[in-house]
Structure 1
């Protein structure tokens, strides 16, 4: 068997095709950590430590994380071709405008939440992966693709509508898949001396290569990165997501994975992955800085107001941190304030440049916290 695996012929004659049987992890010979990779890994750890520290100082940390998670859910789904926007996800009337694209993003959020709770009960394992995948694909596209069950027949990676004969890559046969999954589970738990980031990069590669489900492998693989970062103690919270980087470098992402399969180029894949950790961490830190600066500057503006106007405006401002697109009626009910009081506060925030009327809604008066959304939208359009 070569460093990364071998291609195995299945069937004969015109029906024949070749599946890929991956080698066990860790690679043999071991990953070569040269000076450049070593330097990159040190930078990645420094930035991860900085992100973990700064995230603890954020006011309403859980609220920020919930906003950031929604962006990750959207980006990860967009990589798979989902047509949805951040504004769709924050739409106060989302239930009335629900479609399969939006539902897919919402299921990603549910899967991350379910996995986080599950980590408190069971370790990262094949059982864990199956349970999270079940939530990921329930009630949306792929609900008929055996959610939460490893495939029982052959799958392949190809352009939409293309057959196995035209596949760009054919994952392991079912028997080889089972063997590879068992070995991957052992590797995830093994108390090796291998660097945790290095290990996560290899686990992600191996999972995507095994491709154990009929649908949702890409999204599940990216969720796995988040769970591994937390499980291995690199981050306390879900503040780092790779989808921003992987979406921007989608072609290279797929190319690097194939280079490992075809030529055993693990080192180049690891370098690409570590670069992604560095860029994604910098992006997260930059986002936190921008949001904190925005919050401070807008609070200063609001504190120049007087009396009840100030009180209601501050109440509405807090509400906007969790609901950056609002409907006046819904906001008044949620805040237990009169429609007129919230309407007046909305006008005040419009005049201050915080809120903007969203056009195209005939039945409702919808307003967006545009400066905040502009920060979050980065990379999602």
Structure 2
């Protein structure tokens, strides 16, 4: 890390650590909040992001059973957040994991990392929602981190504990002195994390979406864990929005946006540290909130329409029994099933479960799924229409200020 690149920073300072050939420079961010000027353009983008998020939260609060959507949305987020860190897995791999873990083969390690993030995310959401759960706190983040790294790559890096040694950020395999960014030394963490926790809990004049962007930057600049900081930091955004009651149902997730614009995501975070480029980071972040709010709203509407269409199909075929509807509801939790799973779900015989699956196939709800290079047993069935909605990269949400009839410009490396 070159200290001269941070010489003009208003967001922190660099400090020389050690001496001689072993010396290096680390960046220590200032406590939150910074002094910001919210100009007219930024406020306009903020307003559009806030309205889009409000529309999403409104439809989420109307769902009779929001769990039906929360679970598939959290799995999609875990997949994309892990992909930003280089983990290679697809949604179909997660389906395989839940149906038959022995069929994963060489993909097993990556998929287990994603499923660990799923479990850690669901734990955090349960704690935030429960009156008796862990509050929004450093303690909660440590427990989430412990679950994230349990039994997978990084498990030797003190899961559930803040680091006691120096870490750094750079190309894979780079040495400390080759790093692009070196976070503060471990002895600075108690004060920095204490300030971060207080800022999350104390009221402040900045709008809550702006505060979420500040919190995410600060967490990434501190980089308090030896591993897993990016995944925890992106989860922290949603936890803050839930804690502040901006969201009542966790349907907004930003990793899809960050993954599409990965280079810009990292560049904006680094530019805040190097040049105090808060405005550029806030614009980028708020555009992401807008785009992903619109995208999530369209997915929710598509899923609700599909749910009604499936119910109508069952009614038309005179197969709309309570058991069929229960299987239907379970498919919205996760769009893949085996006959033994239906048997356990309903408490019926294998023959009865098979007959019900056959009826759902006849209604065009389930299709037989045989992934390549996996064992042929048990037979797997997927809700292909629902899987397509969940697996789609984007539903072409426009950028703030653009007409809903025009797609947003952008792809990785382009302006957003």
TM over 0.5: yes
**Residues 321 and 127 of structure 1: is their aligned pair in 2 closer, same or farther, counting only changes over 3 Å?**
closer
Select 2:212's aligned residue among 200, 218, 231: 200
Q: What residue in structure 1 maps to residue 390 of structure 2?
A: 376
**Residues 122 and 298 of structure 1: is their aligned pair in 2 closer, same or farther, counting only changes over 3 Å?**
closer
How far the C-alpha of 1:214 sits from its partner, in A, is 0.4
Report matched runs for 1:256-267 at 5 Å.
Answer: 256-267=268-279
Q: What residue in structure 2 maps to residue 86 of structure 1?
A: 91
Report matched runs for 1:216-295 at 5 Å.
Answer: 216-295=228-307
Select 2:27's aligned residue among 6, 12, 20: 20
How far the C-alpha of 1:296 sits from its partner, in A, is 1.5
State whether structure 2 residue 329 is matched by structure 1 residue 318. yes
Alpha-carbon deviations, 1:208-241, whole Å to 9, x = none? 0110110000011011111100011101121111
State whether structure 2 residue 136 is matched by structure 1 residue 124. yes
Q: What residue in structure 2 maps to residue 334 of structure 1?
A: 345
Query: Counterpart of 1:146 in 2: which secondary structure?
Result: coil
Query: Counterpart of 1:353 in 2: which secondary structure?
Result: coil
Matches of 2:126 and 2:71 in 1, distance apart? 15
Select 1:66's aligned residue among 46, 68, 71: 71
How far the C-alpha of 1:249 sits from its partner, in A, is 1.0
Structure 1 window deviating more from structure 2 (98-107 vs 291-300): it is 98-107
**Residues 195 and 144 of structure 1: is their aligned pair in 2 closer, same or farther, counting only changes over 3 Å?**
same
Select 1:211's aligned residue among 223, 237, 242: 223
Structure 1 window deviating more from structure 2 (74-83 vs 311-320): it is 311-320
Q: What residue in structure 2 maps to residue 356 of structure 1?
A: 367
How far the C-alpha of 1:109 sits from its partner, in A, is 2.2
Query: Counterpart of 2:360 in 1: which secondary structure?
Result: helix
State whether structure 2 residue 101 is matched by structure 1 residue 104. no
Query: TM-score of the superposition, structure 1-length normalised?
Result: 0.92
Query: Counterpart of 2:316 in 1: which secondary structure?
Result: coil
Q: What residue in structure 1 maps to residue 414 of structure 2?
A: none
Matches of 2:28 and 2:320 in 1, distance apart? 65
Structure 1 window deviating more from structure 2 (169-178 vs 18-27): it is 169-178
Alpha-carbon deviations, 1:251-289, whole Å to 9, x = none? 100000011111110111011111111111111101001
Cα RMSD of the aligned pairs, angstroms, is 2.0
Q: What residue in structure 1 maps to residue 147 of structure 2?
A: 135
How far the C-alpha of 1:304 sits from its partner, in A, is 0.7
Query: TM-score of the superposition, structure 2-length normalised?
Result: 0.85
Which consecutive residues of structure 2, in runs of 5 or more, have no partner in the other structure?
1-7, 395-416
Query: Counterpart of 2:62 in 1: which secondary structure?
Result: coil
Q: What residue in structure 2 maps to residue 39 of structure 1?
A: 44
Asked if 2 retains the 8 angstrom alpha-carbon contact of 1:316 and 1:342, the reply is no
Q: What residue in structure 2 maps to residue 150 of structure 1?
A: 162
Structure 1 window deviating more from structure 2 (147-156 vs 43-52): it is 43-52
Which consecutive residues of structure 1, in runs of 5 or more, have no partner in the other structure?
none
Query: Counterpart of 2:25 in 1: which secondary structure?
Result: strand
Matches of 1:264 and 1:232 in 2, distance apart? 26
Structure 1 window deviating more from structure 2 (150-159 vs 310-319): it is 310-319
Asked if 1 retains the 8 angstrom alpha-carbon contact of 2:257 and 2:288, the reply is yes
Query: Counterpart of 1:245 in 2: which secondary structure?
Result: helix
Q: What residue in structure 2 maps to residue 7 of structure 1?
A: 14
Matches of 1:354 and 1:63 in 2, distance apart? 17
Asked if 2 retains the 8 angstrom alpha-carbon contact of 1:2 and 1:23, the reply is no
How far the C-alpha of 1:72 sits from its partner, in A, is 1.1
Matches of 2:219 and 2:202 in 1, distance apart? 16
Matches of 2:134 and 2:384 in 1, distance apart? 41
How far the C-alpha of 1:195 sits from its partner, in A, is 1.3
Query: Counterpart of 1:56 in 2: which secondary structure?
Result: helix
Report matched runs for 1:44-55 at 5 Å.
Answer: 44-55=49-60
How far the C-alpha of 1:176 sits from its partner, in A, is 2.6
Alpha-carbon deviations, 1:273-325, whole Å to 9, x = none? 1111111111110100110111122221211113xx44364443233223411
Poorly superposed stretches of 4+, deviation over 6 Å: none
How far the C-alpha of 1:2 sits from its partner, in A, is 4.0
